[in-house]
A and B are shown apart, each in its own frame.
Chain A
Amino acid sequence: MKTIIKAALGTALLALGASAASADTLSDVKAKGFLQCGVNTGLAGFSAPDDKGEWTGIDADFCRAVAAAVFGDATKVRFSPLSAKERFTALQSGEVDILSRNTTWTVNRDTALGLNFVGVTYYDGQGFMLNSKKIPGVNSALQLSGASVCVQSGTTTELNLADYFKANKMEYNPVVFEKVEEANAAYDAGRCDVYTTDQSGLYGTRLTLSNPDDHIVLPEIISKEPLGPAVRQGDDKWYHIVKWVYFAQLTAEELGITQANVEEMKNSENPEIRRVLGTEADTKIGTDLGLTNDWVVNIVKGVGNYGEMFERNVGSGSALKIARGLNGLWTKGGLQYAPPIR
């Protein structure tokens, strides 16, 4: 009896190990013919359905960029909407090839959970919003002692809030909601003085307020939320591909390569541009990654460079109208910086 149990357990563990370390994701993806991408079940600007039901947003577009690099076709993606609870299991079990679901990069997730974060596609942070008509004269979060704060339950937001007020020795009354729309509605109806969530979320909330102009976002950012895509540990090749797709998008923006001019840029005199686009003689960057040498051309044609992706989904081209800020290129005062492609 014992041996049977042992054998069964062993098989189960073996299966677990095999599924967790699925050896060669690139070959698997190529064999399947599409990329399976885990996204949020609905978050404005990151992954939300449009009128036709197509996924839009930065997170969804990043998966399209990876598909463009692998297949030369940005449409070869299938999306799995994942809840916050099931997202890591889905990646570990191989249900998705890449997790692009506004996931905060933390040391615990990077090491203990068996994930590898490839970079930061969006620098976010938790902020506060309040009604300046109702509570005039507040222009810093340090003046919020005694305030009632609307917050969504079960998120790191709730914990950061507690930490911040404790660290600054202030009192507050949390008003907790399970669903975003409930929290939004309660804040709009004046049930609490302050609303807190990630800054990108505050912009989404503003769209649902009856008098958005009365509300101000306080300058304090109380947490670091570097959001980025993640892949499974143990497959360096795939990890490199996804990481360099992200860097390639940044490099394209830096070099001024856009969706519109990518074909002309192929004939550019600039050796750096020619190297990135794979038109320089003896360039083997793409093939070394396991892709084709026109991989960057495909990415930019498919979804554009990083700046275009940003503006279309959360920036001036969207209803959210978020400024580049920290997400600007390093040359323009932001944090987005790519190692050289050479």
Chain B
Amino acid sequence: MQEHDLSYVRVEMVNAQAAPASERGAGHWLRTNLFATPLDSVLTLIALLIVSYYLPSVINWMLINAQWTGTDRTFCATTAQGGGIQPEGWSGACWAFVGAKFQQFMFGRYPVDERWRVYLVAVLFVALLTPLLIPRVPKKTLNAILFFVAFPIVAYFLLLGGHFGLRYVETALWGGLMVTLVLSFVGMVVSLPLGVILALGRRSKMPVVKLLSVIFIETIRGVPLITVLFMASVMLPLFLPPGTSFDKFLRALVGFSLFASAYMAEVIRGGLQAIPKGQGEGADSLGLSYWQKMGLIVMPQALKLVIPGIVNTFIGLFKDTSLVYIIGMFDLLGIVRQNFSDASWASPQTPMTGLIFAGLVFWVFCFGMSRYSMFMERRLDTGYRR
């Protein structure tokens, strides 16, 4: 039965149809993202030209023409350059150099038969850090205690040795990526809590605490890191009585941590200022103590707000580790550059290859930190988004 018999009235629903061809697929994506306006089109074309001009030669240099194996400079030099196997006019990456020096780039001069200790620390580090980073893995408190308290102690005894029958490995022999990671890990782990305390101190109503915090932060921020390291390595030994020499690496660690703490304090203070006064007053009216108020109400909100700033400081710290070069310690970049002086590997391609390798390693770590922080921000985003 029909309510009406008007033949032009449709009686069944039309099936859902795909968007028009112009609004979907690669064509639409290209149009909206690359060729939306005439200006966009021109910029896209220019960018394409640049990429197509440089990319082939980069790929050629890095992969196709590259020399992957070899035992000395003759593999990475043309006949005119004193080499043997490369044709005239050859130019390519000398990955053989990185291959031959790889162990050194990772461990510095850490004794070869003790390197299992570094591997063990690295395995522990990854094994404890991975579950900490994945939100749905349970037992976060235990994990955090293991990672931030137990792990540094174990790592200290393993890397330095001198106890439990382990051979003592002086820090002067440490180097490469290992030093970069140790310095930045210690810097990060120390600077965050110290930064929180300094930030609270600076906002405190107690004049002495406030004054001390301000003096510390402003002094450290007012002096370049390179000066702090230089003072610690060159001037300090002259003032100490002989025999009481601080370890150079320890000096660098202290310098780095204090430096990062001052910057961290200001980042966190920025977060504290963004929390409305009502939050604190609400906590007070509930009868919470100062530490309860800060730990349960204010800090969680403030820290969440400044994740980008914190990660920024961490990444900066990671890259600043290269400055230990001036006090005669060699992080990844330092040890790569130091090996340019090895005459048996000196060739026109060696420096470029070494620097690209160091750059790639740094990029992998910094990019990893940056991506994880973005993931964390999205996860903790509980409502300020517009």
**Interface 0/1 of A41-52, CB less than 8 Å to B:** 111110011111
Residue among B73, B82, B109, B346 facing the most chain A CB atoms (10 A cut-off): B346
Contact for A93 among B104, B109, B238, B335, CB less than 8 A: B238
**Interface 0/1 of B139-176, CB less than 8 Å to A:** 00000000000000000000000000000001010010
Within 8 A of A (CB), among B115-137: none
Query: Are B238 and A44 in contact (CB-based, < 8 A)?
Result: no
Query: Are B343 and A22 in contact (CB-based, < 8 A)?
Result: no
Q: How far is the CB of B350 from chain A (nearest CB, A)?
A: 7
Within 8 A of B (CB), among A13-39: 15-16, 18-19, 22
Interface 9-residue window, one of A138-146, A208-216, A265-273, A296-304: A208-216
Within 8 A of A (CB), among B289-345: 325-328, 330, 335, 337-344
Asked, given contacts A42-B341, A207-B347, whether A49 binds B172 with beta carbons under 8 Å apart, the answer is: no
Q: How far is the CB of B341 from chain A (nearest CB, A)?
A: 4
Which of chain B's residues have a CB closer than 8 A to the CB of A181?
337, 340, 351
Asked, given contacts A204-B343, A204-B346, whether A19 binds B242 with beta carbons under 8 Å apart, the answer is: yes
Asked, given contacts A44-B346, A212-B82, whether A12 binds B239 with beta carbons under 8 Å apart, the answer is: yes
Number of contacting residues on B, CB 8 A? 47
Nearest A residue to B329 via CB reads A81
Q: How far is the CB of B324 from chain A (nearest CB, A)?
A: 11
Query: Are A208 and B330 in contact (CB-based, < 8 A)?
Result: no
Query: Are B328 and A80 in contact (CB-based, < 8 A)?
Result: yes
Within 8 A of A (CB), among B72-90: 72-73, 78, 80-82
Which of chain A's residues have a CB closer than 8 A to the CB of B337?
42, 179, 181
| Consensus secondary structure, chain B interface | helix
Query: Are A80 and B172 in contact (CB-based, < 8 A)?
Result: yes
Which of chain B's residues have a CB closer than 8 A to the CB of A51?
100-101, 104, 342
Nearest A residue to B81 via CB reads A212
CA distance A85 to B347 in the complex (A): 28
**Interface 0/1 of A32-74, CB less than 8 Å to B:** 0000000001111100111111001000000000000000000
CA distance A210 to B242 in the complex (A): 50
Query: Are B109 and A53 in contact (CB-based, < 8 A)?
Result: yes
Which of chain A's residues have a CB closer than 8 A to the CB of B348?
188, 208-210
Which of chain B's residues have a CB closer than 8 A to the CB of A48?
338-339, 341-343
Q: How far is the CB of A149 from chain B (nearest CB, A)?
A: 21
Nearest B residue to A82 via CB reads B328
Within 8 A of A (CB), among B337-369: 337-344, 346-348, 350-351
**Interface 0/1 of A116-137, CB less than 8 Å to B:** 0000000000000000000000
Query: Are B343 and A319 in contact (CB-based, < 8 A)?
Result: yes
Which of chain B's residues have a CB closer than 8 A to the CB of A19?
237-238, 240-242
Asked, given contacts A53-B104, A181-B337, A213-B80, whether A319 binds B344 with beta carbons under 8 Å apart, the answer is: yes
Query: Are B242 and A207 in contact (CB-based, < 8 A)?
Result: no
Q: Is A111 an interface residue (CB 8 A)?
A: no
Query: Are B347 and A86 in contact (CB-based, < 8 A)?
Result: no
Which of chain B's residues have a CB closer than 8 A to the CB of A318?
343-344
Q: Is B195 an interface residue (CB 8 A)?
A: no
Q: Is B108 an interface residue (CB 8 A)?
A: yes
Asked, given contacts A80-B328, A89-B238, A185-B351, whether A49 binds B339 with beta carbons under 8 Å apart, the answer is: yes
Q: How far is the CB of B93 from chain A (nearest CB, A)?
A: 15
Query: Are B341 and A92 in contact (CB-based, < 8 A)?
Result: no
Which of chain B's residues have a CB closer than 8 A to the CB of A185?
351
Q: Is B245 an interface residue (CB 8 A)?
A: yes
Q: Is A320 an interface residue (CB 8 A)?
A: yes
Which of chain B's residues have a CB closer than 8 A to the CB of A44?
341-343, 346
CA distance A27 to B275 in the complex (A): 65
Q: Is B233 an interface residue (CB 8 A)?
A: yes
Within 8 A of B (CB), among A306-332: 318-320
**Interface 0/1 of A73-96, CB less than 8 Å to B:** 000001011110110011011110
Which of chain B's residues have a CB closer than 8 A to the CB of A188?
348
Q: Is B234 an interface residue (CB 8 A)?
A: yes
Query: Are B234 and A85 in contact (CB-based, < 8 A)?
Result: yes
Q: How far is the CB of A305 from chain B (nearest CB, A)?
A: 21
Q: How far is the CB of B331 from chain A (nearest CB, A)?
A: 13
CA distance A319 to B72 in the complex (A): 10
Asked, given contacts A89-B234, A181-B337, whether A94 binds B347 with beta carbons under 8 Å apart, the answer is: no
Which of chain B's residues have a CB closer than 8 A to the CB of A50?
342, 344
Nearest A residue to B236 via CB reads A93
Query: Are B104 and A319 in contact (CB-based, < 8 A)?
Result: no
Nearest B residue to A48 via CB reads B341
Which of chain B's residues have a CB closer than 8 A to the CB of A90?
237
**Interface 0/1 of A131-167, CB less than 8 Å to B:** 0000000000000000000000000000000000000
Given A42-B341, A50-B344, A94-B242, 18 extra CB contacts under 8 A: A19-B242, A42-B340, A43-B341, A44-B346, A48-B341, A48-B342, A51-B342, A53-B108, A78-B172, A80-B172, A80-B328, A82-B328, A86-B327, A89-B235, A93-B237, A204-B343, A319-B82, A319-B344
Chain B positions within 8 Å of A, measured between CB atoms, are 72-73, 78, 80-82, 91, 100-101, 103-104, 108-109, 112, 170, 172, 175, 230, 233-235, 237-242, 245, 325-328, 330, 335, 337-344, 346-348, 350-351
Q: 28 A-B Cβ contacts within 8 A?
A: A15-B239, A15-B242, A16-B238, A19-B241, A41-B328, A41-B330, A42-B341, A43-B341, A44-B342, A48-B343, A51-B100, A52-B104, A52-B112, A56-B342, A89-B234, A90-B237, A179-B337, A180-B340, A181-B351, A184-B351, A207-B82, A207-B343, A208-B346, A208-B347, A210-B91, A213-B80, A319-B82, A319-B344
Chain A positions within 8 Å of B, measured between CB atoms, are 12, 15-16, 18-19, 22, 41-45, 48-53, 56, 78, 80-83, 85-86, 89-90, 92-95, 179-181, 184-185, 188, 204, 207-213, 318-320
